Amino acid sequence: MFRYLVIYCTEEKETVVNSFEAERADLTIDPYGDDVPIALGGREYIILADDYEIPTPNVSLEDIDAHSRIANRARELGVKFEHLTLMMDLSYVNDQIDLEKLEKFPNGDFLHDVSGILTHMDRQTGQLVDCFLPRCAKR
C-alpha cells in the first residue's frame, strides 16, 4: 500500500488537508504543474507521502488522519462546513488540542469544540479568537 497526501496550496503556504492509502504508486496528481501560478483561492494536489516533507512541523500523518475522522464525524452529526476548512482549522490548533480526547468526546462536547473552532478561527492568523477555549484544550 502507498500513502498519499492531499495538499492545499496558496501563495502563502501549503497545508496537508487529507491522506489516504492506495495499492498503486502512480496516483500523484498536480494538474497545474510547477510553472503555473497558484490561482486566487489556492489549489489542491495529491502526492506520495514519502515524497513530501510536511511544512507544519506540529502536524503528523497520524494527526491528519485524526483530523479527517473528526471532519467525517462532524459531517455525520450535521455540522455544515467545507471539509477543507475544518481540516485546515484543525491543523492550526493541532498543538493546542488533545485530538484523542476530542475524538472520544460525547456528541455534545464534540459539537461544542468543532463548531467553536470553525466559528472562532481567525484564518488570517491561525489563532482562535473571542476567548474561545475548546473543552479538549491541552492544559
Task: Judge whether residue 2 has pLDDT over 90.
Answer: no
Q: How far apart are CA 55 and CA 13, in angstroms?
A: 8
Task: Judge whether residue 49 has pLDDT over 70.
Answer: no
Whether 45 and 65 map to the same domain: the answer is no
pLDDT of residue 87: 85
Q: What's the full length of the chain, in residues?
A: 139
pTM of the shown model: 0.66
State how many domains the chain has. Answer: 2
In a domain, 139, yes or no: no
Task: Say which range, 6-15, 41-50, 70-79, 115-124, has the weakest mean pLDDT.
Answer: 41-50
Whether 47 and 66 map to the same domain: the answer is no
Q: Which residues pair with 77 in a beta bridge?
A: none
Task: Judge whether residue 40 has pLDDT over 50.
Answer: no
Which residue range(s) make up the domain with 104?
61-128
Q: Could you tell me the CA-to-CA distances from 50 to 30, 53, 59, 81, 88 in Å, in that order? A: 16, 8, 15, 30, 21
In a domain, 134, yes or no: no
Whether 89 and 121 map to the same domain: the answer is yes
112-131 per-position pLDDT tens digit: 999 999 999 988 788 899 99
Which pLDDT band, with edges at 50, 70 and 90, does 60 fall under? confident
pLDDT of residue 48: 64
Whether 23 and 76 map to the same domain: the answer is no
